[in-house]
Chains A and B, each alone.
Chain A
Amino acid sequence: SQQGEEDPQALSIQEGENATMNCSYKTSINNLQWYRQNSGRGLVHLILIRSNEREKHSGRLRVTLDTSKKSSSLLITASRAADTASYFCATDDNYGQNFVFGPGTRLSVLP
């Protein structure tokens, strides 16, 4: 079964609003990463958060990690139409091993 599970599966918001996506996982992890995927291309890495970190920021992105609940959230603030994509979380329990993606959240930002 998949390690990462994103929630919701699909999300539609208006431009300028904030978007929050959640990810849950089942076993102990070393890192958790969030990726974006635009149509027809592979994954683009957004942010990596280590198991001993609780929060991380990168531009308009904010990621939190709660290892006690085995969950993470990705917040995109002041969304733009260009943020429309699928967002995936991925976990690995050793460096480069068992690198597993969840099914993703499809975000639509409407102008």
Chain B
Amino acid sequence: DGGITQSPKYLFRKEGQNVTLSCEQNLNHDAMYWYRQDPGQGLRLIYYSQIVNDFQKGDIAEGYSVSREKKESFPLTVTSAQKNPTAFYLCASSPRPLIALESQFFGPGTRLTVL
């Protein structure tokens, strides 16, 4: 079945370590997104990519890095520079950069806890 997968579902890391969250989609979507969700808050955009080998910073990109070497993959690295990395991370994709009334398809999310 087509969809978006994120792994792992739960991730624990020690403070000061970099960690990479995986996001894969087999929907043949051009655009992919990373969001962060904190308790009681909405999603905030970290990075987005409209096409392979291109990505743009979102609203809270500091302390994060991404790559888009393949259309189906958009991994997110949470670096040690991110001051408050513990959060729920959602990856999404859309058929093309959002220019019309389209919904994004979301993955199941990864809950990252930094100890």
Residue numbers of A with Cβ under 8 A of B are 2, 9-10, 33, 35, 37, 39-48, 86, 88, 95-97, 99, 101-106
User: Main SS of chain A's interface residues?
Assistant: strand
Asked if B50 is an interface residue, CB under 8 A from chain A, the answer is yes
* Contact surface of B with A, Cβ cutoff 8 Å: 33, 35, 37, 39-45, 48, 50, 58-59, 88, 90, 92, 97-104, 106, 109, 111
Query: Roughly how many angstroms separate A106 CA and B102 CA in the complex, as a whole number?
Result: 10
Q: Is the CB of A37 within 8 A of B109?
A: no
The 8 Å CB contact of A43, one of B40, B43, B99, B100, is: B43
Q: How far is the CA of A57 from the CA of B100 in the complex (A)?
A: 27
CB distance B103 to A101 under 8 Å? yes
A33–B106 alpha-carbon span in the complex (Å)? 15
